[in-house]
Amino acid sequence: MSALLRIRDAYVEIREGKIAAMGPTGKASRDFPGEVLDAGGRVVTPGLVDPHTHLVFAGSRVEEYLRRARGERYTGGGILVTAEATRKASEEELVELSLSRLRKMLRCGVTTVEAKSGYGLAPEAELKILRTIKRLGEIVPQRLVPTFLGAHAFPPDYGREEYIELIVGEMIPRVTREGLARFCDVFCDKGFYTVDEARRILEEGKYHGLVPKLHADELACVGAAELAGEVGAVSADHLLHASDPGIKALAEAGTVAVLLPGTAFVIDEPYPPARKLVEAGV
């Protein structure tokens, strides 16, 4: 992470969809049997991977953006607005909305997309989103990797403990029975899920075969990065307010830090400590 390799006037040899060789053009094979494309003046990279998306949703959060533009602080209320619109949308409507987003991503070179639920916040609505992701994966050329994020916020139509019980007792078992997700994510932060609540949900997900990941320490330092290391999360995302012990825990666990500077910019929070994470070995 501290040094990047860049080759000027380079070639890339692709065989059966995989990179077989690369290097300076002068060292390229002269008897390559396939098509030769001249990409002069361009950058050649593998397909881009977007590891954090909320792909499937309906509605708009323009009002929330305007409130922030007037100086109001981000409190996460827009999640509930989007969840209400997404609950009302049919699966067909969600497919069409999401297809448009995926086409734009493909034009930007994104060939693998992690796609979260999280805008249902109720059993049937969360499953609807994950089924939509499954359908999309059968339509588009990109690879979609689904994540269950039932613990994105607390819906107003359930009590706090009641909703957590729904997640661990009903949603996670149903998601895994239908094979609808690979990962289980939790928004562990101030005003959202506590470390203990997140641990309970992630451990239940692990029991059912879901790999843990976290929205961690975005709004405040609550110990979410430390939890990510503790449960062996594949990634911890945001990390705007991660502590030094939290960063150490991520490095020791081999957890990947997924940084989203655009979010920090929009909600007017400090950017994540990228250099500190790199130097710590995350």
* 29 pLDDT tier (thresholds 50, 70, 90): confident
Q: What is the pTM of this model?
A: 0.91
CA distance 32 to 29: 6
Q: What H or E segment, with its residue span, contains residue 24?
A: strand 18-24
pLDDT tens sequence across 94-142: 999 999 999 999 999 999 999 999 999 999 999 999 999 999 999 999 9
Specify the pairing of strand 18-24 against strand 10-15. antiparallel
Number of C-beta neighbours around residue 122 at 10 A: 17
Q: What distances in angstroms separate CA 194 from CA 28, 75, 214, 217, one per listed residue?
A: 55, 16, 12, 11
Phi, psi of 256 (to 5 degrees): -80, 135
Q: What is the pLDDT of residues 179-190, one digit of tens each?
A: 999 999 999 999
Q: Classify domain 48-279 at the CATH class level.
A: alpha beta
- Sorted by where each begins, the domain ranges of the chain are 1-46, 48-279
Give the angle 224-241-245 at the CA atoms, nearest 5°.
Answer: 60
Q: Quick one: DSSP state of residue 26? A: G
**Torsions phi, psi for 177 (to 5 deg):** -60, -40
The fraction of the chain above a pLDDT of 70, given in percent, is 98
Q: Looking at residue 75, what is its pLDDT?
A: 60
What is the C-alpha to C-alpha distance for residues 150 and 82, in angstroms, rounded to an integer?
A: 14
Quick check: 46 pLDDT over 90?
Answer: no
DSSP 170: I
Lowest mean pLDDT among 69-73, 74-78, 230-234, 269-273: 74-78
